[in-house]
Amino acid sequence: MCGRYASTLPPETMRELYKLLNNVEIVPRYNIAPTQPIVAIWEAAGRREAHFARWGLVPGWVKDPRDFPLLVNARAESMADKPAFRDPLKHGRCLVPASGYYEWHTGPDKQKRPYYITRQDGAPLALAGLYATWSGPNGEEVDSVATITVAANAQLAAIHHRMPAILLSEAEQDAWLNVRDVRAREAVQMALPLADGVLKFHPVSTRVNAARDDDPGLIAALAAAEKTPAGTGGQMSLF
């Protein structure tokens, strides 16, 4: 799953990169966790804009969000069949801009060690997501998002068996957001693992385990003497 990520893009860079029609006031974040507000991009009424939304999708048909499980991730293989994700897949596809994300590898000693995963070329990640708007009995509205996961490629499987669905090209991102012309069954085919070598990774401090910690030191690599997952041959260039 993808349960923590960083997003450090300046607002003006995000606007230009994703062709946004609005400005969004954001600050660099290094440890974004479920239930927190995140920035997500979607198109509505012909406008592509960035919005703040809760990370943890709540479908519009839910009566009381307090009684509904936290849906942080949607599995690409089953999202077209799940009641919570079927409608968002048709009408509520979004992008979640990220600089990188964290994953935990469980070693032979059963200890979980965090890794920071990002693009080899240093470019941002556009995570594929789904959004929904829940309307409360008093007229309140809450936008919420789930990020999509796929089976990990061979390179990343050394850390975890799942990875986020990441849309690399502008054409892929445009098609994902185009809910008017690109149907759900076509969108499902876009949620695929990346090829090996596109991403890289390095071990980071276990301070990332605590959502209260949020600073640049969290994405810094630990000393080279730290152990790497079995099967990587010591290579520190996964995601």
Indicate whether 189 belongs to any domain.
yes
Q: What is the pLDDT of residue 66?
A: 87
Q: What's the domain range around 71?
A: 4-98+124-150+159-195
Report the CATH number that the domain containing residue 21 is assigned in CATH: 3.90.1680.10
Cβ neighbours of residue 184 under 8 Å, at least 6 residues apart? Answer: 80, 86, 89, 90
Q: What is the pLDDT of residue 1?
A: 64
pLDDT over 50 at 77, yes or no: yes
- Identify the three-state secondary structure at position 80: coil
Q: Which residue's structure tokens are 């995963």?
A: 117
Instruction: State how far the Cα of 96 lies from the Cα of 148, in Å rounded to an integer.
Output: 10
Indicate whether 231 belongs to any domain.
no
Indicate whether 211 belongs to any domain.
no
**Residues of the chain above pLDDT 70, percent:** 93
- Name the band, by pLDDT with cuts 50, 70 and 90, for residue 231: very low
pLDDT digits (tens, 9 = 90+) for 161-199: 999 999 999 999 999 999 999 999 999 999 999 999 999
CB 107 within 8 A of CB 142: no
Q: Which residues pair with 21 in a beta bridge?
A: none
Instruction: State how far the Cα of 114 lies from the Cα of 106, in Å rounded to an integer.
Output: 9
Indicate whether 88 belongs to any domain.
yes
Mean pLDDT along residues 149-155: 97
Of 128, 116, 149, give the one whose Cα is nearest residue 239.
116
Indicate whether 51 belongs to any domain.
yes
> Hey, what are 235's tokens?
């290579």
Q: Please state the domain count of the chain.
A: 1
pLDDT over 90 at 236, yes or no: no
Q: What is the pLDDT of residue 136?
A: 86
Q: What is the pLDDT of residue 140?
A: 87
pLDDT over 50 at 210, yes or no: yes
pTM score of the predicted model: 0.90
pLDDT digits (tens, 9 = 90+) for 23-59: 888 999 999 999 999 999 999 988 999 999 999 999 9
Instruction: State how far the Cα of 157 lies from the Cα of 237, in Å rounded to an integer.
Output: 13
φ/ψ bin of 13: left (φ > 0), alpha (ψ from -120 to 50), beta (otherwise): alpha
Indicate whether 132 belongs to any domain.
yes
pLDDT over 90 at 124, yes or no: yes
pLDDT over 80 at 144, yes or no: yes
Mean pLDDT along residues 95-115: 95
Instruction: State how far the Cα of 84 lies from the Cα of 62, in Å rounded to an integer.
Output: 9
Mean pLDDT along residues 122-145: 94
Indicate whether 62 belongs to any domain.
yes
Within the chain, residue ranges assigned H as helices are 11-17, 83-91, 170-177, 184-188
Q: In what order do the strands lie in the sheet with 100-106?
A: 29-32, 4-7, 100-106, 112-119, 199-203
pLDDT digits (tens, 9 = 90+) for 219-229: 999 974 344 44
